[in-house]
Amino acid sequence: LASSMCRNPAITSDERRRHRTMLELLVDTAEEYQRELECDRELYQVIALDAKGIPQSRITASRAARLLAEASQIATKATPADTKPRPGKQTSAKSATNEEADTAQQPVPAQH
């Protein structure tokens, strides 16, 4: 888009305004994409850390989907001005039961 604008420069003020608007939309789109990538990275980190907390187990797809949904809800509620630290992982009897039901025990290979 930008290279096309450079090859065909705007002549009228209306064309310059449209070019400026298109460039602003391009930048806004790129910034939104970057924010989504950061959010996705945080979600995958949550899943990875949760999986590490379950020794000798693998996280199931349903548990990962639940974690993604929870993290997504937290991310949509958070605002850029929100500077409060996020609370640590909270566990309860119910969540512990859900984790046990959602994990598949993996055999530990014996080393010879």
Q: Are the CB atoms for 56 and 106 separated by under 8 Å?
A: yes
Q: Is residue 112 part of a domain?
A: no
Residues 6+ apart with CB under 8 A from 53: 89
- Whether residue 96 is contained in a domain is answered as no
Identify whether 95 is part of a domain: no
C-alpha pair distances (Å), 9 with each of 3, 27, 36, 60, 96: 10, 19, 32, 54, 62
Q: Does residue 39 register a pLDDT over 50? A: yes
Domain that holds residue 34: 2-80
Please tell me the total count of domains within the chain: 1
Whether 40 is covered by a domain: the verdict is yes
23 within a domain of the structure (yes/no): yes
Model confidence pLDDT, tens digit, residues 78-103: 655 544 444 444 444 444 444 444 44
pLDDT confidence of residue 106: 46
